[in-house]
Amino acid sequence: MTAVDSISGKAKVAGVMGWPIGHSRSPRLHGFWLRQYGIDGAYVPLAVAPERAEQAIRALPALGFRGCNVTVPLKEIAFRTVDRLDETAWRMGAVNTIVVAADGALEGGNTDGFGFIENLRAEQPGWTAERGPAVVIGAGGAARAVVVALLDAGAPEVRLVNRTRARAEDLAADLAAVGLAGGVTVVDWVSRETALDGAALLVNTTTQGMAGQPALDLPLRALPVPAVVNDIVYVPLETPLLAEARARGNAVAGGVGMLLHQARPGFKAWFGVEPQVTAELTRFVLEG
């Protein structure tokens, strides 16, 4: 029996909004949980062009939706459209989770940082952000979520490295504007190896290493062996960066767990159950 076959007229409904949306694994992920927990509900893909996004978001309460996830390129539009923002979404400048409140208001949150931290803790239970400096490669939306999450978790320093220094400086300035000025150091791309010296964590937030993309150009010679290496890319599951790190003795954490864990708060808010991330779930999502 499929999730669609099992719902009734009282079904709780949520979804994921983006453009395009056919690549999203979120319907498969949430559908697994709906079946696992026997919930009368549905989670549907919502293909919405950017010029219609505000209208679509505003229509969620009228359509009876409990809320939705928001993915690229609509996260910033959602940020500007919702009625209320939680503190994390405000600092990240983007919304990936919308909840329709009891009064019909649209509440915007961002769970990307939560997913990032929870994945690291699950993959490497001994890891703590306080252990030492973190090096973050990239300066896009994913990097912003990672940096905010690391600073919130207690990282003493985040070294931000990007091929275009101006983008990294813009991100650092944005973070300073929301009260996160301390602890962020921008490092030139030519000094990327030096940035690894004494680091306790290395995170790649770029698409380098993704299937069809060149490997990340970052020699690991200066990275301490006790450091953890995380790549948010999950296709392939083991990127060249992770393979090199594992071979030299670093503990590693892949990217698929970030996708799975970031979905947990929304599912709980919409369907009333705290879902679990399991090996069976991971295999199911990756098969789709």
Catalytic residue chosen out of the listed positions 10, 12, 75, 268:
75
Collapse the DSSP code of 141 into the 3-class scheme (helix H, G, I; strand E, B; otherwise coil) and give the result: helix
Q: Which residue has the tokens 């790190």?
A: 245
CA distance 204 to 215: 11
Residue type, 71: T
Q: In Å, how far from its chain's centre is CA 124?
A: 18
Provide CB contacts within 8 A for 3, sequence distance 6+. 31, 34, 35, 41, 42, 43
Give catalytic status of residue 75 as yes or no: yes
The two tokens of residue 32 are: 């697994």
CB atoms within 10 A of CB 43: 28
Active site residues: 75
